[in-house]
Amino acid sequence: MSESNVIHAGQDTFHETVLASPVPVLVDFWAEWCAPCRAIAPVLQDVAAARGQSLRVVKVDVDEHPDLARHYGVRSIPTLLLFQDGQLRAQHVGALRRVELDALLDRWQVTA
């Protein structure tokens, strides 16, 4: 699966990419050195491809953008935050398998 379905954002692009998005956005706060973050990366790529127009998947590197992580209270990675209509709606800390992430998105009422 190509990572082209996943968008990388930072301090300069977060508002446009996440907060101003017309569709729900799942933000993955991660770091290259984090093994669970690397483990969830293919899951996020699959979800981004499968949910296409109904969900945007965005990654934020906490080492490159610590102010964003601090602003959203990220203390452990991976941390997944769900934004809808520019507002933080839900969060999950820790890696997930695909079936677990799909169930979480369904519970958060993000349709496929």
SS3 helix, strand, coil % of the chain, rounded to 5? Answer: 40, 25, 35
Helix (H, G, I), strand (E, B) or coil at 101: helix
What token pair was written down for 110?
A: 């993000």
**CATH numeric code, 3-107:** 3.40.30.10
Known active-site residue 47 = no
Backbone angles phi, psi at 29, to 5 degrees: -85, 125
Catalytic residue among 25, 34, 44, 101: 34
Catalytic residue among 18, 37, 58, 82: 37
Note the pLDDT of residue 109: 84
Query: How does pLDDT run across 26-83, given as a tens digit for each residue?
Result: 999 999 999 999 999 999 999 999 998 899 999 999 999 999 999 999 999 999 999 9
Residue 2 has pLDDT above 60, yes or no: no
- Domain spans, the chain: 3-107
Known active-site residue 34 = yes
Q: At 15, is the pLDDT very low, low, confident or very high (cuts 50, 70, 90)?
A: very high
Residue 22 DSSP one-character state? S
For the chain, the maximum distance between any two Cα atoms, rounded to a whole number of angstroms, is: 33
CA 100, 57, 94, 39 dihedral sign is positive
Note the pLDDT of residue 58: 98
